[in-house]
Structure 1
Amino acid sequence: MNLLENNKNLFKDIFIGAVLFSYLSKAAREIYIYGVAHSIRSVFKGFSRRALLLLTSLPWTKKQIDDELNSALSDLDSKMVIRDPSLPTHHKLPTIGHDKHSVHHQLSSLANIPHSRWEDGRVSGAVYYGDSGDINDVIIEAFSRFSVSNPLHPDVFPGIRAMEAQVVSMVLNMYNAPQDAAGTTTSGGTESILLACLAYRNWSRQTQGVSHPEMVVPETAHAAFSKASFYFGITLRRVPVDPHTRKASLKHVKRAINGNTCMLVASAPNFPDGNVDDIVEMGALAKRYKVGLHGRVVLAYTHSNSHSSVDCCLGSFIMPFLQSAGFATTPFDFRVNGVTSISCDTHKYGFAPKGSSVIMYANKTWRSFQYYSQPDWTGGVYASPTLAGSRPGALIAGTWAVLTHVGVDGYVRSCGEIVRARQRIQRAIETDYQADLAVMGQPLGSVVAFTSVNPALNIYTVGDLLHEKGFSLNAVANPPALHIACTRPTVAAVDDILSSLRWAVDQAKSRTFGKEDEGSMVALYGVGSSTAIGPDLVDYLARGFLDTMYVVS
C-alpha cells in the first residue's frame, strides 16, 4: 500500500514537474527571443485583455459595447450596400431568363455605380495599369477564346497547359531561377504564400520528422502568413523590425530559429511601408542554421541543406526591372544563396487580369511538397498542383496574353514611370512636411508610407480628409501611417495627390474634430489601439464587414 502511495506521489510529482518545465521553457524562450521588457509587457497585456473581456461580459457594459458595435456595423451597411431601386437586384433566379441585351444593360448599370476614382490615380494600388486599351483588348480576346477552359483537363485544353507552363517559365527567367527551377500559377499572392508555407510544412514533417513546425515572420510580413499559420497549424514566431530602416531585425530572427523552424520570412518589399528586408543576410542565416527562405521575400528553413524562399508579390514586375530602369536595387532573387522559393503577383505590376500569381521554387522537389494526390479515390486518381481543383483557364490565357504583349521593354518603361512617381511623392514629404510627416525607411519600389511626427497631427485624420477629397490611401498600423502604392494611373496624378495632401494636413492641424467628426479610419484604428481588447473589437467589426459583402440590397 505504501509502495502504491509512493508511486502515486512520484507520478504526481513527475506530472507537475513536466507541466512546470513546459511553462518555464516557453517563458525562457520568449525572454530569449524578445527580451525581458517585451515579455513582461506581453504578460501584462494578456492579463489586461482577460480582465477587460470579463468586465465587458457584465450585462451593463456588454449592452453598451454591443450598442456601439451594432451602430458601427449599421453605418458600415449603409455605406457599403447600395439600395437603389433603379439598379438590378436578384434574390433568386429569374423565372424566365433575360435576353443578352437586357443583361448587357444591367451590367452597364452595375459598372457605372459611383466609386473611388482609380481611373484618375486617386486609389492606392488596386488597379495597376489603368484603362489601357491595348491591354484590355488582349485580355478580352483571351477571355473570349478560352472562357470554358480548365487546366484540370489538359487533354481537353492543351493550349491552356502550354500557356501556364510558359507563364511560369517567363517569370522564373525574370527572377534568375536555376536550371531545375519549377513553379505553378495561383489565384493570387495569398494562395502563393499559402502554398509556400504548405510546402515547407509538408517537407519538415515528411523528411525531418518535425511534428510542430514553426516559421519566423517579421511583423511587416503579409497577413497571409498568419492565415497560413491558422490554416496549416504552423506556429508563427513574429519578430520585430528596426524602427528606422523598417527591415527585419536579424538579431531577433536568429534567436527565433530552433529545431522546429521550417521557414524564415522576409519581404521585397513589405506591404505596410515598401521597404525590403536584408535578403542576403537572411540567406546567410538560412545557410548557417540550415533553414529555407521565403517571404515578401521569405526564407525557408531546412535541417540538411541551406534553402530560402522569397515572396515578391508586391515587388512583382517592379523589383526585377529596377536596375534596367536606372534605379538602385538590392539582391532579392534566386541569385541570393539560399533562396528556395519566390512568389510573384502577375496581376499587380504585371498588369495581368485579377486572380493571377506565380509561386516559384528552386527545384521540382520543393514544388512537389505543395501537391496533393489521392491515388485510391473511387472516382479515379485525383491530383492537383494547387489548392483549387478546377481553375479558370481564361485567367491563364489572359496572363499569357498580357505578358507577351507588354514584354521586357514595356515593363522597364512602366517601372521607370511608377518608381519616379513614388520618388516625387517621397521627396515632397521629406522636404515640405518636415515638421509634420516622415517617410518610413527608404523604399526602393512603388510604395511609400508616411507617419506623423507632430503630436498634434493624427495621421488617420489626414487619411479621412483625403477620403473626403476622393482619395483612397491605405491605413497601416504599428506605427500609425498612410501608404500609397503607386500605379500607372498615379503617374499623371502626382500633382493632384500632393496638393490634396497639403490641404488635408493643413485642415487636420487647424480644425477641431469632435467624436461626431471622426472618419472611418480614425474610428476603426482608434478602437484598435485604445485598449487591450481593441483588437478583439476590430476583429468583430472586420467580420461584420465581411458579412456586409454578401448583403443583397
Structure 2
Amino acid sequence: MPGSSRVPVSLRNLSSYKDAAVRRNPTLVLNFEILRNLVFIWFLLRHFRKAIRQLRGRGILGTLGSFYAYLWRNAYGVFLNLPGIRSKVQGQVDVALKKLEDRLVPKGPGVTRYTELPKDGLSDEQIKEILKELSELHHADWEKGQVSGAVYHGGKEMLDLQSEAYRMFAVSNPLHPDVFPGVRKMEAEIVAMVLDMYNAPPSSGAGITTSGGTESILMACLAARAKAYAERGVTEPEMVVPVTAHAAFDKAGHYFKIKVHHVDVDPMTLKVNLKAVARLVNYNTILIVGSAPNFPHGIIDDIAGLSKIALRKRVPLHVDACLGSFLVPFLEKAGFETQPFDFRVKGVTSISCDTHKYGFAPKGNSVLLFRTKKFRQYGYFVTATWPGGVYASPSLAGSRAGSLIAGTWAALMKVGESGYVASCRDIVGAAKAIEAGIRDKLHPDLYVLGEPQVSVVSFSSKTLNIYELADEMNAMGWHLNALQTPPAIHIACTRPTVSAVDKFLTDLEKAVAGVKARGNEAAQRDTAALYGVAGSLPNKSVINSMAVGFIDTLYKA
C-alpha cells in the first residue's frame, strides 16, 4: 500500500524485541557485551604480541624490509597468474619438464617397461640379467670421484661384507625385538658408539637410529616441540635456524606447524649471526640450531656462542652434524684444526649424525643423539588404547629394515676408530688441496667462500657466470652442487675424490678458460638457465612448479 513500510514486519519489530529483552534480563545483555569486548581485546593483544616479537627480532628496518619483500612477492605472483602470462609461463615450464623427462625416463626401441605383474614369475637368471642391464644404464662416474657427495663408498670389501650382513638379516625387523634380538643388540650398540664419539654424558646420553639425516632432524624438532608443550605450555612453536641450515628444518616446520625464523650468516665467515639469533628467541622458541658443518659452504657455526644463548634463554640447542658425521669427531686426531661442537659444549642438547655418509654405512641409516633420556622420550609415540594392542615406536617409522642396522653395525666394527681417523685425514686432506688449488691457481677468477674446515669446498666468481662454469664441468663429467644466495658451486669430497684431486683442479682450470673464451654471448645451458631464472624471480612459484614436475617425473615408468 502507498505509504506503508517495505521492511518486513519481523525486522520492524526486532528493535522492540531487543528492548524488551534488556528490560527482562539486563544482566544477560551486559555479560554478552563484556564477553564480546574481552574477545576483541584478546584478539588485539594476541596480534600486538606477535608484532612486538617481530619488531624485537627483526628490528624496524628488518620488519619493513620483510613486509616489502612480502608485498613484492605477492604482487609478482598476481602478475604471473594473469591469463596471458600464466599460459605462457606454463608453456615454458612444460617444455622444460619434457626435456627433463626425456633425459630421465628411458624410451625407444629396446626399452621394456614393466607396468603390471608378469603373468608368471620370471626365472632367477632372467631377473639377474634385467638387474644387470639396469645397473649399467648411463650414469655419472662416481667410481672415479667425479660426483660431489651422493655416494659415500667404503670400498669393495666393505660392500661385500655388508651384502653378507643384508642376507643374514634380510627378514628382520627391529619392531619385534623378541623375534630378532640380534638386531636389537646391534642397534643399541650403534647408538652407544656414536654417543661415545660425540662425548655424550655416559650416565644420561641417549639416542635412536633413523632412516637418514632428514628423519633425524624431523625427530629432533618433534621432540623439542613436545618438550616445550609439556614443560612450558607452548602452543605456537618457533625455531631459529641459520639460512644455511639443512632444508629438513623447513620440512619439519611444514609438517609439524613450527614457525621457522631464518637468520643470515656473517658475509665474511659465513657463520650464523649470533646477535640476530639472540634477538629472535622468545617464549615460543622451542629450538635453536647450528651446523657442523653446513651443507652449502662446509662451515661450522659458532656452536659455543650458540650454546651461551641457549643456556641464557633456557632453550634447547640442536647441532646438525649429519654431513660432519664421522669426520668432525676425528679432525683433531687427524691433525686438522677444529672447534667445539659436541656434548662437551654445555648448551648442546641434541645432535644428528649420518652413519650412511662418512661412516660408510648403507644408505638409509642415521643416528639422533640426546643429552638426556628424558629428552629422547619426548619423541616417542605411545598408544595404550589401540585394539591391536599397546603400540610404541621411537621414531616416525614403524617397521624398519634390520638388514640396514646389520650393515651399519658391520661398517662401524670393520673400520674402527683408527680407520675413521685415516679416512678423515684423506678426505679432509683432499678438500684442503682443492681449496689451496683454487686460491693459488684460479684467483681472481674464482674465490673460496669462507674458511671450510671439513669436506666441502664452495667457490664462486666475480668475473664469470658461476652456473655456466658448473655446466662446463658437467660436460667434462663432473657433477657438482649448484648453490644460491650467493650464487656458487661446491664439491663435497668423498673417498673416491681423494684420487681425483689433480684431475678436478686441471679440469676446473680448463672450464674457467672455456667460459671466459665464450663470453656472455653463449647460449645458457641447464644449470645456468634454471638458477638464472630462480635468482631473478621474487616469487618462486615457477621454480616450485618445476620441482613438483621433477618429482612427478621420477614416478613415470
TM-score of the aligned structures, taking structure 2 as reference length: 0.92
How far the C-alpha of 1:22 sits from its partner, in A, is 4.6
SS at match of 2:207: strand
Per-residue Cα deviation, 1:344-363 (whole angstroms, up to 9, x for no partner): 00000000000010001112
1:533-544 equivalences in 2 (<5 Å): 533=539, 535-544=540-549
Deviation at 1:74, TM superposition (A): 0.9
Q: Secondary structure at the match of 1:493?
A: helix
Structure of higher CA gyration radius: 2
Deviates more, 1:44-53 or 1:413-422: 44-53
**Candidates 533, 540, 548, aligned match of 1:527:** 533
- Indicate the residue corresponding to 1:149 in structure 2: 172
Q: Does 67-76 or 349-358 show the bigger shift?
A: 67-76
Equivalent residue pairs, number: 532
Amino acid at match of 1:156: V
Give yes or no for contact 1:178–1:362 (8 Å, CA) kept in 2.
yes
Q: For 1:396-453, what per-residue CA distance to the aligned partner results, in whole angstroms no more than 9, with x for missing partners?
A: 0000001101111111111000011000110111122222222111111101111112
Q: What is residue 433 of structure 2 aligned with on the other side?
A: 424
Residue aligning to 1:183:
207
Residues 369 and 9 (structure 1), Cα distance of their counterparts in 2 relative to 1, 3 Å cut: closer
Corresponding residue of 2:367:
358
Provide the C-alpha distance between the structure 2 equivalents of 1:84 and 1:177, rounded to a whole number of angstroms.
56
1:149: Cα distance to partner? 0.6
In structure 2, what is the Cα distance between the partners aligned to 1:525 and 1:13?
52
Alignment of 1:173 onto 2:180 = no
1:110-167 CA-partner distances (Å, limit 9, x unpaired): 000010110111100011226x121011101100101111001111111101100111
Whether 2:185 is the aligned partner of 1:162: answer yes
Q: Is contact 2:484-2:535 (8 Å) kept?
A: no
Question: Match of 1:502?
Answer: 509
Match of 2:405 in 1: 396
Q: Secondary structure at the match of 1:211?
A: coil
The match for 2:330 is 321
Confirm or deny: 8 A CA contact 2:214 2:248 kept in the other structure.
Answer: yes
* Residue of structure 1 in register with 2:556 after alignment: 551
Q: Give matches, 1:323-402, under 5 Å.
A: 323-402=332-411
Within-5 A mapping of 1:106-145: 106-129=130-153, 132-145=155-168
2:206–2:373 Cα contact (<8 Å) kept: yes
Name the aligned partner's letter for residue 242 of structure 2: P
Q: Residue 57 of structure 2 contacts residue 281 of structure 2 at CA under 8 Å; is this kept in 1?
A: no
Contact 2:53 2:282 in 1 (8 A): no
Residue aligning to 2:13: none
Over 3 Å counting, the alpha-carbon distance change for 1:161 and 1:47 in structure 2 is same
Alignment match of 1:481 (pick from 460, 476, 488): 488
Aligned CA-pair RMSD: 2.0
**Matches of 1:10 and 1:497, distance apart in 2:** 74
Q: Relative to structure 1, is the Cα distance of residues 35 and 428 closer, same or farther in structure 2, using a 3 angstrom cutoff?
A: farther
The answer as to whether partners of 2:246 and 2:295 remain within 8 angstroms in 1 is yes
| Distance in 1, Cα, partners of 2:497 & 2:505 | 11
CA distance in 1, matches of 2:205, 2:35: 53
Q: Is the 8 A contact 1:527 1:537 kept in 2?
A: no
SS of 1:241's equivalent in the other structure is coil
Name structure 2 gaps, 5 residues minimum.
1-18
Do residues 492 (structure 1) and 499 (structure 2) align? yes
The offset of 1:35, in angstroms, is: 3.2
1:14 & 1:504 partners in 2: Cα distance?
68
C-alpha distance in structure 1 between counterparts of 2:108 and 2:291, whole Å: 43
| Distance in 1 between residues matched to 2:450 and 2:128, nearest whole Å | 48
What residue in structure 2 maps to residue 301 of structure 1?
none
Contact 2:380/2:393 (CA < 8 Å) preserved in 1? yes
In structure 1, what is the equivalent of residue 6 of structure 2? none
Three-state SS of the structure 2 residue aligned to 1:35 is helix
Match of 1:275 in 2: 299
Which whole-Å deviations, capped at 9, do the CAs of 1:152-211 have from their partners, x for residues lacking one? 111111110110011111111111111121111110000000011010101111121111
> 1:500: how far off?
1.2
Whole-Å Cα distance in 2 between the matches of residues 37 and 468 of structure 1? Answer: 44
Task: State how far apart, in whole Å, the 2-side matches of 1:140 and 1:14 are.
Answer: 67
* Percent identity over paired residues: 48
Q: Deviations over 1:13-47 (max 9, x none)?
A: 77666655555543443333223333223222211
Q: How high is the TM-score relative to the length of structure 1? A: 0.92
CA distance in 1, matches of 2:59, 2:504: 42
